Structure 1
Amino acid sequence: MTKRTKEQQALLDQLKQVAQGLGETLAPFCEVVVHDLLDPKHAILAIHNNLSSRQPGDPATELGLARIADPQYQQVIANYANQFADGRQAKSTSIGIKDSSGQYIAALCLNVDLTLFRGLQSMLGQFGSVGAAAGVTESLDPISADSIRERIDQFAARLATTPRALKATERRALIRELKEAGCMEMRRAMEIVAMHLGVSRATVYSDAK
């Protein structure tokens, strides 16, 4: 690990405070991460609203390594497409932090979980749609993993939150709703629900009782 100057340490300390404030403001749908580029093998210095399941001490990303290698690398990269390990779509912004010598020492990264907004978009589209005539609507599509995820997203959107931020009582209400819709009869439904909620299958089984 590179020895830090007083200036570099002060910048890192202040950046952690900025990250905490942003994390509290943008909860629960935006992950805020501070990367210490002076220690790339253990770069994650702080993480708020953890959506990616990473931990402090985890290594730098490819973007962090690129900044370490090239002080002229773009300092602000905003709103680029990204993806969490479980497949959830994200929108990310990365801001490089330099010391007075022009060396990159840190990065502040924001990763927005688009699940909530996609759910809201789906609900608004449904609300604004019109049919040729009033009557009973019916779907002939079989229940699929995507339809289960979509129902979960819509449930969370109604509560203005994300699937992974649902409280235990809200999860149980969701499971009841899925059972009533016949979604839990699908093969591997428990596993699909658990992965999308970011909980264990045992938790889903318990919530389903």
Structure 2
Amino acid sequence: MSEQDAILDALAPVADGIAATLGSFCEVVVHDFRRPEQSVVAIAGSVTDRTVGGSMSEIGMGLLARGDDAEDQLNYVTRTASGKLVKSSTMLLRDSGGSVFGALCVNLDVTALGQLRTLVGELADVGTAAETPTTTFGDDVDAVVDAIVDEHQLRLNKPWTALSREERLDLFRSLHARGVFAVRRAVPQVAARIGISRASAYNYLAEIREQGAS
């Protein structure tokens, strides 16, 4: 067994212990970044409705894209597609050589606390509502990739067919920076999503990677 596999195996009971300690509103996930399409190797609790063999989220893809330069993401808040308000910390796993190969994530469902805060704010007549980014959690990595692509379209506020070449390059640059293309099948999936050929998609990706290397 490799060092990385041994660390992942050792963390499974740790995940169970943390979830048991914090209760039913807690979920602890162990991720193996070496297989982003099925990165969930252990999970305790149920906040994001994922199971073992599920994929990483957009946040995990972003960390994957940064490689060994990635840093722990602590105490951040997102909202699931079903409306749950989730407070999370993602702690990277490194081997003895310093290489990032996975993560231990703690997710707390704080929906009820958020609702209470809003109610108190309204009663006190102060503004407490804040825009919370929605994160796609799921066992299907294709849904995560689609959500990231669609988020980009919402920012552009125009149909894919209306994008200029530079706007398409900017899309591929953004997706590359967020780790999307570490996922197998992501290039043809993005091509189909935005209505271009696979050849064009691979050309865009090659161009932005060449720009990044220059």
Q: TM-score, normalised by structure 2?
A: 0.51
- Alignment gaps of 5+ in structure 1: 129-209
Long gaps (5+) in structure 2: 125-214
Structure 2 Cα separation of the partners of residues 104 and 15 of structure 1: 15
Q: Give the letter for the 1:114 counterpart.
A: V
Q: Give yes or no for the alignment of 1:105 onto 2:97.
A: no
C-alpha deviations, 1:58-85, integer Å up to 9, x for none?
1122232233333333332111121122
Letter in 2 for 1:80: Y
State how far apart, in whole Å, the 1-side matches of 2:118 and 2:96 are.
47
Match of 1:57 among 27, 36, 53: 53
User: CA shift at 1:24, angstroms?
Assistant: 0.6
RCO (CA 8 Å, sep 6+): is it higher in 1 or 2?
2
Could you tell me how far apart the structure 1 residues matched to 2:16 and 2:99 are?
Answer: 24
- Residue 45 of structure 1, aligned match among 41, 46, 66: 41
Residue aligning to 2:198:
none
Paired residues in the alignment total 125
1:94 to 90, 95, 112: 90
- How big is the shift at 1:50? 0.7
1:116 positional shift? 3.0
Range with greater deviation from structure 2 (9-18 or 60-69): 60-69
Q: Is the 8 A contact 2:92 2:104 kept in 1?
A: yes
- Cα distance between partner residues in 1 of 2:4 and 2:92: 13
Structure number, greater radius of gyration: 1
Partner of residue 31, structure 2: 35
Q: Percent identity?
A: 35
Cα distance in 2 for partners of 1:45, 1:39 equals 10
The code of the aligned residue for 1:50 comes to: S
Q: TM-score, normalised by structure 1?
A: 0.52
Give the structure with the higher percent helix.
Answer: 2
Amino acid at match of 1:81: V
| CA-atom RMSD in angstroms | 2.5
Q: How far apart, CA to CA, are the structure 1 residues paired with 2:63 and 2:104?
A: 12
Aligned to 2:183: none
Q: Give, in whole Å, the separation in 1 of the partners of 2:58 and 2:120.
A: 37
* Matched residue type, 1:108: L
> Which of 47, 66, 86 matches 1:70?
66
